[in-house]
């Protein structure tokens, strides 16, 4: 264990897990939300895209509720169906939006990260 660190493991789609996380925050806003969540991929592009989109939307909703106005959200996603819509969701939500492909990511991988910085007011 690390002093001051609360470790939670669970499925973010389940209300109980979200409640545990919100309880650990004790009403304090956060500087950064990092989502490395990824669904179990089925190989069916449209189904996988919908699952990825849902997880990113959950992360954005969490950020809207708990992020400091100048904070940042980082999410993992994949190029493919729904990518353009998720970038637009970030543009609607954050002042600065940057797609980032880590150097450690394989060249052929469609994995990328989207960074949103500074929540727009009223979102």
CA distance 5 to 19: 17
pLDDT band for position 111 (50/70/90)? confident
pLDDT band for position 123 (50/70/90)? confident
Phi, psi of 53 (to 5 degrees): -60, -45
Q: What is the pLDDT of residues 67-109, one digit of tens each?
A: 999 999 999 998 888 899 999 999 999 999 999 988 877 777 7
The predicted pLDDT at position 6 comes to 82
Active-site residue, selected from the candidate residues 76, 101, 120, 121: 76
What domains are defined for the chain? 31-119 (3.40.50.150)
Residue 76 known to be catalytic: yes
78 to each of 19, 39, 48, 53, 83, how far by Cα in Å?
28, 11, 10, 10, 7
The predicted pLDDT at position 4 comes to 82
Q: What is the pTM of this model?
A: 0.88
């Amino acid at each position: 264990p690390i002093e001051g660190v609360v470790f939670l493991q669970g499925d973010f789609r389940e209300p109980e897990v979200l409640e545990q996380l919100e309880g650990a925050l004790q009403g304090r806003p956060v500087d950064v939300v990092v989502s490395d969540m990824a669904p179990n991929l089925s190989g069916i592009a449209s189904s996988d895209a919908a699952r990825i989109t849902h997880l990113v939307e959950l992360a954005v909703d969490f950020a809207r509720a708990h992020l400091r106005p100048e904070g940042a959200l980082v999410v993992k996603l994949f190029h493919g169906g729904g990518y353009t819509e998720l970038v637009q969701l970030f543009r609607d939500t954050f002042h600065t939006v940057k797609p980032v492909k880590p150097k450690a990511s394989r060249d052929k991988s469609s994995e990328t990260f989207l960074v949103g910085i500074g929540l727009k007011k009223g979102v």
